Amino acid sequence: MPRGYRPGLIAGRPAGKISAMVTLEQVIVPPPAPGQPLDFLAMFGDNAPVEMEIGSGKGGFLLRRARALPDRRFLGVEWANKYHRYAADRMVRWQVPNVRLMRTDAAHLVLHHLPPASLAALHVYHPDPWPKKRHHKRRLIQGPFVVAAVDALADGGRIAIQTDHAAYFKQIQQVLRDEPRLSEAAFDVPEAGAIDGRMETNFEIKYRREGRPIYQIAMVKTASARPRPVESAKGGMT
């Protein structure tokens, strides 16, 4: 059991009603059925604010943020099964009750299954850059994805993206700035999970050790437009 662990406590504070013994069956949740929006109330058992991380990897960022914010709920989405399972085991070892992990295609989930105004924050750190030109269509951060992601953000909700790929970052900046409901915000905000400008994901730690530059951008949803129905979204690939 992790050092300092005490049953029923998260980050030194009494946990809420979801603080019963955390199991893998609780942490790992299945993808929604076709045409079915995510039900965060059913997933977590309450209406607390939800943050989602796409590409949650080994769960380092989610673990740190969920323990620091026990009154928030966190959904991590990862495609690589070995990282998905590693992160789930990690949440169980630390007995973190406010994290759920899903193995699915992130673009499809955002485009088809996120309810309007359901997220307080969306974290996307080091998405696959698909560097070859013929593969650029597979990149996650493209216009339709951004529109769907902003639909899913509550007013004042935040989207933060980080990459080590300069060309991809230019594309990310362009599609985010083209979305009229978003306004650029400071990335290095401790309340949003940054520690001296770092998100401390596994990829970031590795790339900084290698001396790679890191590019960051954060945007906040400042105005709502009529959200399109989730079931009518057009799909795309990660």
CB 201 within 8 A of CB 60: yes
| 77 part of a folded domain | yes
| 132 part of a folded domain | yes
Catalytic residue, candidates 128, 164, 178, 196 = 128
The total number of structural domains that make up the chain: 1
- Angle at the Cα of 180 from the Cα atoms of 178 and 185, rounded to 5 degrees: 85
Containing structural domain, residue 165: 13-36+46-232
Q: pLDDT tens string for the chain (238 positions)?
A: 333 333 333 333 333 445 579 999 999 999 999 999 999 999 999 999 999 999 999 999 999 999 999 999 999 999 999 999 999 999 999 999 999 999 999 999 999 999 999 999 999 999 888 788 888 998 999 999 999 999 999 999 999 999 989 999 999 999 999 999 999 998 877 676 666 666 667 777 676 777 888 899 999 999 665 554 444 344 444 3
Of 204, 65, 50, 198, the closest CA to residue 127 belongs to: 204
| 101 part of a folded domain | yes
| 7 part of a folded domain | no
CATH number at residue 24: 3.40.50.150
| 8 part of a folded domain | no
- Classify burial at 48, counting beta carbons within 10 Å of its beta carbon; exposed 0-12, middle 13-18, buried 19 or more: middle
* Residue 71 among the catalytic residues: no
